[in-house]
Chain A
Amino acid sequence: MKRVISMVLVFAMVMMMSLTVVGCAKEETNETTNSEVAVGETSATAVTTESKTNFPERPINNIVPFGAGGGTDSWNRALSAAMEAPLGVKILVNNMTGGGPGGTGQAYVWEAKHDGYTMLGTSETPLLVPVMTGMKQTTDDFVYYIAGGSPGLLLANKNAGITSMADLMDMAKTKPNEIKVASTAGGLWFILANLFNSYGDVPLGNVTYDGSRPAITACVSGETALVVASAGEVADFIKSGDLIPLTTIQTTDYDMTGHGIIPSVITSIPSLEKYLPLNQWIGFMLPADTDAAIIAKFEEAFKVAMASQEIQDFATSQYAVIYNLTGEEASAVAAKAQSTMSWILNDMGLTEYSPEEFNIPRP
């Protein structure tokens, strides 16, 4: 008996200490009185008795299909915090990684009830879920809320002897495939990195890494001469002079605060125009068959959040352009991006499933 008591005492002490720490952490956020956080629970009565115009009545779960600290995660935490006031409930952000380009998180949200209490943080990366994992849901099955994104840049290591696209294109002709671009192993940056040799007639080699940051580090350390990444991720290296931006992979020039104008890639390689826009964008999505009133509620809250100072500041700090799209516009952007990205990867032989199986049209 004594042992049990001492064990209980130890645990009580543990609880006291954790409570003080967590209590401090929670002092700025509203305590939730409702303990019904477990999303796994479903009950038939909940659907009928919960009036849809009273949405939301309890905390909402935002599932981010990528790791803590990444772009999608940071944006969604910022957005969720900003939407709590207009919605009137807490939004809990949880990370659920896995399944390639975010398949596990997407499946979880899809299989939960489509009642608006489970949302999916997203970026352009999960658009590849169908062709990489075989899951059937495409952009037709979701509604999108697109907040913003950071423009994609092609940069050179300061010691590579390349200061402009003209330099690069000349050098590439004399040493085909020897100049390497660092990028992620799949997803948007990989596609952008390979646009040059596959469709732009600039023969660059490609070395892939486990994520944007390792790719950027590799270029800074000199392992590759070039790297493709978002402006937000490389801003500090541009400022410190370690990386030189050559061009931005979008149809318009990019005026980067603190640096100046970075020319659009179509000034030097016009043939790439038909594959663009291929921008990074981050936001969240809901299943399309969620009740229309709930979708509208989210739209309102989203608009309030996007107009808030916190989000404006956040976007500036991330060197992100604000897109602020919902409804038809957002779906159109998502659909086009899904079609372009899926087919480019498919033509490179890098997909597990063909986009045709999901009726994703060719761009």
Chain B
Amino acid sequence: MIRMFLLRMRRSPAKWAFPLVAGFEIWILQELRFTGFPIWSEVGAALMYSVLVLGPVAAGLAGLRAWVERRPALVDLDTGMVREAAVRRWLATAGEIGWVALAFLTGVLFLMAAVGPGATWGEPDWMLVAAAFLAVWACGFIGWSVSWLLPSRVTGPLVGLALYMAMGLSVSLDLTVGASWIPSSLERLTPFEVSRPGLRVAQVAIFGGFILAGVAASAIGVRSRRAILGLVVGLTLVVAGLVVAPVGRPAVAAIDPPQVCDPGVVTVCYHPAYSTGAQPVIVAVRRTMAPLLTAGVVPSRLAQYEYEEPAGVSVPFLMDPDPNEASRAVARAALAGAVGAGVCEDFEDRYRVWTVVEAWLISQAGYEAGQLVFDQTGQSHRLDPFFDPDHQAMYQRFVAVPDDDRIVWLAGHFDRLRSCDVGTEELP
């Protein structure tokens, strides 16, 4: 069986598409390494997400193979054979899907090589990797069976397109309305989330069910009783998986996640998964927060954003591999009181004061203050943090103030600054 599978793979036209598909997979995974840190939790999620592309490719290729195998001459030859029709059909399509699966495994190796040497905590979510691997096969068999039942040159590519749209929609629903019946693809992106094993089982059942149903559907009419049984069992697995999936819904916050702290004048605490690459971020956030600590307006403890800390115990910071961004985020969080809070934007006058202080905190630490944006070509640049020459002049005045006076001013105005209650006339 393995020898025949390898023979079909070796002689499959899909092998010519392999370098392209594997290269594309690596490119996708490179783009999907969300945080830029070597974190195991991102591996499974990125691989599952890449199924959005590999799945439709597998469906298209398998559909084209089904169309070829469905030609009357090959059907005549195939029908009089001894081995089970399902086995023969499985073999025929596996030779095509095998190359896409190999591209997926190339992606797994790429991520292992990219993440493994730097990973400092946890391990890959192998069940999610397995579920993603099965998902590639499941998409292929869906393409195969539909094309077998409706043989045409265009059926396979159309099924691929439909799958791409359906999976894209499911991810979109997952992100927007939290459709809990959909086995999530964007799950457990950070080590602060935990997955329940129920979802993994559900995903394996769903994708395994699709594979079984796909193989069985193409064998209907040859050994109908067994094929129908296979179809029923496969679809039952799919339905059972969909029913069980919400029970195992993950993306819940881990209870009491581990923490390592870098002691010093400012203690910086973060998840051990981020240890590799954390030092530049620690330096950035310490430097940025130094004036506020001197002024005594914030706690002398910085904790990574995802930790649930009682308000006021620590300043939250984001683990961003770009120290400029980490500096900007912690300055903003300190001034706003929380990460991501957009305060003062409704009060232009007071927002100017707020942004002057923010820009100064970042600049005195040695980083670039403007917001990082990307244009349509993917090129990045930083926006000017100031609205106009007056705003710029306001900043220059603030920078020119002696350090001790500025610290005194910060100590006296910090609480009101957070509440957007400091007007431009109050800025020194």
Are both chains from one complex?
Answer: no
